[in-house]
Amino acid sequence: MQTAYENTNQITEALQLFESLLESVAFGQMRWVLVLNKLHHFREKVVSGRVPIARYFPDYKADAMDIYAAQEYFADKFRHRYPLERGLLPVYFINAVDPDHVRSVIDGILLVAKHHGTAK
């Protein structure tokens, strides 16, 4: 069983890894899409109140059980780290165990990429 402290560390580590990858010369100035997996686990923890976000992220001011506000809060944590010169960072939340959901997200990503001329 994971504790709330471990979950907070996972989010913090994910943000640090994200920043590190953005600074890597291997990725140059390419545009990114962020896909955050395990939405069902995230929702369960937020809605159950087991992991009160504000306790670990004091700047979180939304309703403690508002899943959409929580998703947007964490999406913004990543967006604020994304360089402005690369444009906006699209963020998707998925349940990888739901193939239809994954397919619809991939279709959306491909549509956006095509619109921006980054996919052939």
Share of the chain above pLDDT 90, in %: 31
* Per-residue model confidence (pLDDT) at position 50: 80
Average pLDDT, the chain: 84
* Per-residue model confidence (pLDDT) at position 17: 93
Q: Is the pLDDT of residue 5 over 50?
A: no
| Residues contacting 54, CB < 8 A, separation 6+ | 60, 61, 64
The pTM of this model reads 0.78
* Per-residue model confidence (pLDDT) at position 61: 93
Q: How confident is the model over 35-93, as pLDDT tens digits?
A: 998 888 888 888 888 878 888 889 999 998 899 999 999 999 999 999 988 888 999 99
The domain locations on the chain are 4-115
Q: Quick one: DSSP state of residue 117?
A: T
CATH, domain 4-115, list 3.40.50.300, 3.40.720.10, 3.40.1160.10, 3.40.50.150: 3.40.50.300
| Residues contacting 67, CB < 8 A, separation 6+ | 42, 43, 46, 47
* Per-residue model confidence (pLDDT) at position 113: 78
Q: Contact, 67 vs 47, CB < 8 A?
A: yes
Angle separating helix axes 67-79 and 4-23, nearest 10 degrees: 30
* Per-residue model confidence (pLDDT) at position 35: 92
* Per-residue model confidence (pLDDT) at position 118: 53
